Structure 1
């Protein structure tokens, strides 16, 4: 009981700090509290620290050289401060798997949990670090160079960052949960694959809008103070939905492979 109380207080304090440090909105702070409690009660302090590393590292890269990313943020629906939908997009799968482990305990869930965090970290590092590339990324729909920050675009720097993001989670997860080399390879492969899925969904399915004021293609419903026009993609498939779906599919496919 004392451990549970400490866990609740620790997660609560972390969520509040995230809000005051302007890393989370109010809704994001509440969502982080819920996700953190679920993960902590299921996978203990180790699972919480793995989740915490993702949140801390992704927040760092989101803020890193932010002035260089202003134009990119203006084209996206949201900035670097995460709301509840962004928290759910990146931590929802981990929370769902944690619930499964609470109600249906099985050692296999730790693999799905680790893959989901690796996928989220891989995708976030790819986006945040890749956007700083000096060369424009290549859009996989046309294989032509396009503006940095465009969903469905890849760069050498972004791909390297994605590999490092997945690998860092694998190393940390192994320290906490003691995987075999083969298990580490599977977690890494499907974690990185989550980033690949995100890229494919971003290029071919994610909703894209056009600003009627400046003519720019954006991912936001409003731009230049006016409502944008839907150009292509599935309306409900915004960036948050794509992030959630890519992490969920990576974990699901990874569990199928392991099982």
Structure 2
């Protein structure tokens, strides 16, 4: 049965590549992540992963003029490479592996929280960039361009809550969790997006193109190297995404143990 499951994961990873949702490295990373999740949590875990991947990919593919302008600021497009896959699904896969090794029920909760946080952040970014008004930078409280890391909008905030709720609802449906456990997943997942926003505003690398003056996450724009104007160069969007999930997983473990 496990062999069949792994074979299906391989087919899905290949399909992700040919549908231009994943790069080659992204497909390889997705296969590893999917296999670890199948090992610890089986088909139920893969369904929750599928909720995240399919819904976030759907929003990534929905285009609008506002969203296309916002993507000009981003380091990468909608096709995920291995770094994006690990940033969003790596800790969920680790949680699944920990459940396999320890049989500790928390790791089911932790797995769902990791994906809820990633889904919350992805929905906030993808849907929020289609907002009618420009978002507000939480550091300067000024209006900034759509797609700016560390900025929030009303639409993006609602989208973040909806993204976390989807994973919490999936956990309730397929893992048969209690309502308070699902509420825990929803709140902590949404909180992961808040941490991501804070890191994006205060420490994530931001650059400016010397040619056109555009503020962007890209290290090359208009054929020239951009200039670092905020944050730390090592902390790109993928690293920030990873650490936001990592921090919320640590917080979740602490709260779970205390209460």
- TM bin, normalised by shorter chain, reads over 0.9
Structure 1 stretches of 4+ with a deviation exceeding 3 A read: none
Q: Partner residue of 1:181?
A: 179
- Decide whether the 8 Å contact of 1:24 with 1:82 is kept in 2: yes
Deviations 1:206-255 (A, max 9, x none): 01111111111111111111111111102211000011111111122112
- Decide whether the 8 Å contact of 2:204 with 2:236 is kept in 1: yes
Q: Partner residue of 1:43?
A: 41
SS in 1 for 2:123: helix
Q: Which runs of 5 or more structure 1 residues have no equivalent in the other structure?
A: none
Q: Partner residue of 1:113?
A: 111
Q: Partner residue of 1:65?
A: 63
Query: 1:115 & 1:252 partners in 2: Cα distance?
Result: 11
Query: 1:13 & 1:153 partners in 2: Cα distance?
Result: 37
Query: 1:113 & 1:81 partners in 2: Cα distance?
Result: 24
Q: Which runs of 5 or more structure 2 residues have no equivalent in the other structure?
A: none
Query: Residue 34 in 1 paired to residue 32 in 2?
Result: yes
Query: 1:176 & 1:252 partners in 2: Cα distance?
Result: 24
* Aligned residues: CA RMSD: 1.0
Query: 2:29 & 2:84 partners in 1: Cα distance?
Result: 9
- Decide whether the 8 Å contact of 2:172 with 2:179 is kept in 1: no
Which of residues 189, 192, 197 in structure 2 aligns to 1:191?
189
Which residues in structure 2 correspond to 1:100-249 (within 5 Å)? 100-249=98-247
- Decide whether the 8 Å contact of 1:139 with 1:145 is kept in 2: yes
- Decide whether the 8 Å contact of 1:75 with 1:223 is kept in 2: no
The range that moved more, 230-239 or 113-122, is 230-239
Query: Normalized against structure 2, the TM-score is what?
Result: 0.97
SS in 2 for 1:209: strand
- Decide whether the 8 Å contact of 1:111 with 1:255 is kept in 2: no
Deviation of the 1:99 alpha carbon: 2.0
Query: 2:176 & 2:255 partners in 1: Cα distance?
Result: 19
Which residues in structure 2 correspond to 1:72-83 (within 5 Å)? 72-83=70-81
SS in 1 for 2:147: coil
Deviations 1:150-191 (A, max 9, x none): 000000000000010001110111111111121111111100
Query: 2:135 & 2:64 partners in 1: Cα distance?
Result: 18
Deviation of the 1:107 alpha carbon: 1.2
Query: Residue 24 in 1 paired to residue 2 in 2?
Result: no
Query: Normalized against structure 1, the TM-score is what?
Result: 0.97
Query: 1:135 & 1:75 partners in 2: Cα distance?
Result: 17
SS in 1 for 2:72: helix
Deviations 1:44-85 (A, max 9, x none): 100011001100000000011255422222221111100000
Q: Across the two proteins, how many residue pairs are aligned to each other?
A: 257
